[in-house]
């Protein structure tokens, strides 16, 4: 059967046709232009769906379901976007609105939740019913699948793992609380940590790396550390501890089969995964008595949003 | 229908007959004597069940199911106690063993998980399918019900909320990691915090309170604070912040209807609940945009274990 996954971002709306075996037949994208009224944006989404179906030679009535992954707080049961900062949506009845254009079951969820579902169904967690997905990007996003069920919390306001405590009273987080995991383990956080170390160590290779790149990025400290820079190594070591510490909290709560790591930072790859794995093995509750949790890189990459959104429609 | 709930503790095994409306007909207890082989302990458990049924005039064949709440890591699906520190059980196939004596469906789970289920079914969370239960006792135990499902994690090794991070690198926890919530928010932790403040402030009322009680307890600082003692107030204020901070992590992940608080410290009652509620309202992710989570005292008290264990048998 054919499903359409729509990945709604602040810049671009992507959509693709996926089947239940995880085959992606076609994908395309349109600009979001988020300053518009939601009815126009939703109309574009529907047209994008019709257009990819037509290009693929599939009649729109053959689409068994449409899923949408949307940043923000999503009330999946009501089919309403409670609040999405990135696309300026508040209390938008998107499922009803979309139904004006295409008649088929429509499912919505938070984008990190959708990505978690995509990875569990078609990616690094294939075959597992217990997966924690962590994106290390601008923020720290989490999607949690436990016993095959996507954890959403009341009105979709749960699964905000980026805002569990890491160091109570520590760095100020964008959510207004101090010491959240996100304030230490996001790409934004390692950039801040890198800048601070660069100031303290003007001799560090990080300065040259940043100059070469034209900015301080999530890669700066990693690149300098690989070249043997001591100050950069310290930044990276601490950052890995922060990432692992939050993952250990998640492991102690959910004890999944896999913790899958996505987002820009995950491009550091196996080397990073192994370092995190070692700390998870050592510090998770119960030690060797408890079943091992495997830390892996998420593999669906840029298409994770499409796969995940399509998976939302398949799960029912 | 009649169900039997068995609350297995290190000192005492309690059992009671409960119906699906939460009526407790009869209860009784026997000593655990945990140094014995498990077969003897399980035989005593079965005899206790038969004895309360006989006293109540109920034929044992009328019992629709038996549930057991057991401290430790419990593999509920396999019916095996993976490990229980309190009763020296390791890899004990308790469901099979119990089946030698009484023929009916038998369900086992961790005691905090069972208590959470009991509170959600018959106690402070009655009617809700989304409840986080927190015991503030010797340790910090958590039981989580999300969309009506008891969160267990792989082989029952999840729901260890006491070991999520609070202050990374902070106080050493019994689990071997530093900075766990339990290391700050358990009764054991407030006793440590109280002792430290007593040393720093020999003039504090906490010293007189401890002398009156014959020991430093989880109540010492609370009692002195109520009498206006400044140092005690500081201990209590900090302790409440620790408790609330961990609860906020749980709220951000699970966004339940209720956070229910049990264990010795919860006897401080409404006053304590209100203080925690205020911090939860203020610091939970999304503020007023997200649905409110209510902090309440767990009400089943000493019988929570029996109710909860019986509820395990009802949920199937």
Which of B130, B157, B165 is the closest to A290 by Cβ? B157
pLDDT tens by residue, B116-126? 999 999 999 99
Which of A163, A175, A289 is the closest to B82 by Cβ? A289
* Strands of the sheet with B89-92, listed across from one edge: B73-75, B80-84, B89-92
Which CATH number is A131-298 given? Answer: 3.30.420.40
The confidence band for B315, taking pLDDT boundaries of 50, 70 and 90, is low
Q: Which residues of chain A have a CB within 8 Å of the CB of B293?
A: 154
Chain A contact present for B137, CB below 8 A: no
Q: Which residues of chain B have a CB within 8 Å of the CB of A159?
A: 253
pLDDT tens by residue, A138-168? 899 999 999 999 999 999 999 999 999 999 9
pLDDT tens by residue, B184-225? 999 999 999 999 999 999 999 999 999 999 999 999 999 999
Tell which phi-psi region holds residue B84, choosing left (phi > 0), alpha (psi between -120 and 50) or beta: beta
Delimiting residues of CATH 3.30.420.40 domain(s) in chain B: 2-122+302-314, 131-298
Write down the ipTM of this complex.
0.93
Which of A72, A110, A254 is the mutation pick for testing B, counting most B CBs within 10 A?
Answer: A254
Whether the pLDDT of residue B316 is over 60: the answer is no
Q: Which residues of chain A have a CB within 8 Å of the CB of B158?
A: 146, 252-255
For the segment A273-294, the average pLDDT, to the nearest whole number, is: 94
CATH topology of domain A2-122+302-314: Nucleotidyltransferase; domain 5 (3.30.420)
pLDDT tens by residue, A58-71? 999 999 999 999 99
Q: Indicate the helix (H) or strand (E) that contains B132.
A: strand B131-136
Chain A contact present for B283, CB below 8 A: yes
Q: How far apart are CA A172 and CA A182, in angstroms?
A: 10
In this prediction, residue B84 carries a pLDDT of 86
Chain A contact present for B301, CB below 8 A: no
- Tell me the nearest-neighbour CA distance from A102 into chain B, angstroms: 30
Whether the pLDDT of residue A316 is over 60: the answer is no
Name the residue with higher pLDDT: A10 or A254. Answer: A254
- Tell me the nearest-neighbour CA distance from A150 into chain B, angstroms: 10
pLDDT tens by residue, B269-306? 999 999 999 999 999 998 888 999 999 999 998 899 99
The confidence band for B113, taking pLDDT boundaries of 50, 70 and 90, is very high
Residue B23 sits at φ, ψ, to 5 deg, of: -85, 125
Q: Which residues of chain B have a CB within 8 Å of the CB of A252?
A: 158, 160-161, 163-164
Q: Do B153 and A130 touch (CB under 8 A)?
A: yes
Q: Do A164 and B252 touch (CB under 8 A)?
A: yes
The confidence band for B10, taking pLDDT boundaries of 50, 70 and 90, is confident
Beta bridge partners of B80: B75
């Amino acid at each position: 059967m054919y499903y359409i996954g729509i990945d709604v971002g602040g810049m671009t709306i992507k959509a693709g046709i996926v089947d239940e075996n995880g085959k992606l037949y076609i994908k395309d994208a349109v600009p979001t232009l988020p300053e518009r009224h939601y009815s126009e944006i939703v109309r574009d989404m529907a047209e994008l769906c019709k257009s990819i179906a037509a290009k693929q030679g599939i009649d729109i009535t053959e689409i068994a379901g449409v899923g949408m992954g949307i940043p923000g707080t999503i009330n999946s049961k009501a089919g309403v976007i409670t609040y999405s900062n990135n696309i300026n949506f508040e209390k938008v009845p998107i499922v009803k609105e979309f139904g004006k254009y295409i008649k088929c079951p429509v499912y919505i969820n938070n984008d990190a939740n959708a990505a978690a579902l995509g990875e569990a169904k078609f990616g690094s967690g294939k075959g597992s019913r217990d997966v924690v997905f962590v994106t290390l990007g601008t923020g720290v996003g989490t999607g949690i699948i436990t016993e095959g069920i996507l954890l959403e919390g009341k009105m979709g306001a749960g699964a905000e793992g980026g805002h569990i405590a890491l160091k109570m009273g520590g760095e100020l987080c964008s959510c207004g609380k101090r010491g959240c995991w996100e304030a230490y383990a996001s790409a934004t956080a390692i950039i801040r940590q890198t800048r601070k170390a660069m100031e303290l160590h003007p001799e560090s290779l990080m300065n040259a790396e940043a100059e070469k790149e034209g900015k301080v990025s999530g890669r700066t400290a990693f690149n300098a550390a690989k070249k043997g820079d001591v100050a950069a190594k310290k930044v990276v070591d601490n950052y890995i501890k922060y990432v692992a510490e939050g993952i250990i909290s998640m492991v102690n709560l959910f004890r999944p089969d896999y913790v899958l790591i996505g987002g820009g930072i995950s491009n550091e790859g196996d080397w990073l995964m192994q370092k995190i794995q070692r700390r998870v093995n050592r510090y998770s509750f119960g030690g060797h008595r408890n079943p091992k949790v495997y830390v892996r890189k998420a593999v669906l990459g840029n298409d994770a949003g499409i796969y995940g959104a399509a998976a939302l429609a398949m799960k029912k």
